[in-house]
Amino acid sequence: MAIYAIGDIQGCYLTLQRLLRRIDFDTANDRLWLAGDLVNRGPRSLEVLRWAYEHQESIQVVLGNHDLKLLACAAGVAPLKPKDTLDDILAAPDRAELLEWLRRRPFLCEDGPVVLVHAGLLPAWKMNQARRYAREIESLLRADDYALLLEEALALKTVWDPKLTGAARWRGLADIFTRMRVCSGDGQPDYSFTGPPEGAPKGLKPWFDVPGPDRDAHTIVFGHWSALNLHIRPGLIALDSGCVWGGSLSAVRLPNIAVFQEPYAD
């Protein structure tokens, strides 16, 4: 059995299918780890979501910021923006089934020392803390009143503090798991910068370059940061190679770190 980790698909269904053929993906024996952002900005979000739902026994998905955007729009608590490409899902006859499945995806999953998240982990967290925080916000998103939670959380801008409560706490944690790229030297996340690491303002650095307490014991697999591009080093696999922006969709076979890429095809 092979495990392949794939970066942000964002509705690029044709590219995904070509990449799966390139790696000769076998749904009966292989497994896919998808680093979140299944949908939005690309042309075929509904096809990607339906494919993931159909093959859910063969895949593991973590939630990304665009997946949360879809859930918020579907719940009526966030507006669609001109660049969003979510209308096909919102109008689909099977939307309820697809969205119910999506909101029950985790923010973090593990297989031994390999950890999958969408954006990153706060440098100060030990892995047991990250695991506990992920389970905490997953349980709230899966509750019956999740739409109210999203509405309240989206109205807030928070600076993470473990003493936060309620919607502010959920927003602070969800932002770390799904939006973080850089941190200050003391490990506080900053969400204003989206460019390549070398362009980061003074005092900010990639979250993974801020020392963490037990990170050497794990390999963190993540997406989200297209300007970082495919970036692999010991203990770190960054998968977002900007497919939706005309780049490539990347897959990495674990644990031997074999790389496969498919140029944008949609």
Residues paired with residue 219 on neighbouring β-strands, in sequence order: 114
Q: Cα separations (Å) of 76 from 70, 80, 86, 92, 151? A: 10, 10, 13, 16, 9
Q: What is the pLDDT of residue 88?
A: 97
pLDDT digits (tens, 9 = 90+) for 34-73: 999 999 999 999 999 999 999 999 999 999 999 999 999 9
Looking at the structure of the chain, the number of domains it has is 1
Distance CA 130, CA 136 (A): 10
Average pLDDT per block of 10 residues along the chain, 266 residues long: 95 98 94 98 98 97 98 97 97 98 98 96 96 98 97 92 96 98 92 95 95 89 97 96 97 94 92
Q: Are 260 and 17 a contacting pair, CB within 8 Å?
A: no
Q: Are 159 and 167 a contacting pair, CB within 8 Å?
A: no
Residues constituting the chain: 266
Distance CA 203, CA 219 (A): 25
User: What CA dihedral angle connects 88, 246, 19 and 179, to 10 degrees?
Assistant: -70
Q: Cα dihedral sign for 22, 27, 29, 33?
A: positive
CATH number of the domain to which 59 belongs:
3.60.21.10
Q: What is the pLDDT of residue 185?
A: 85
pTM listed for this prediction: 0.96
Q: What is the pLDDT of residue 132?
A: 98
Tokens read off for 159: 């600076």
Range of the domain at 224: 3-263
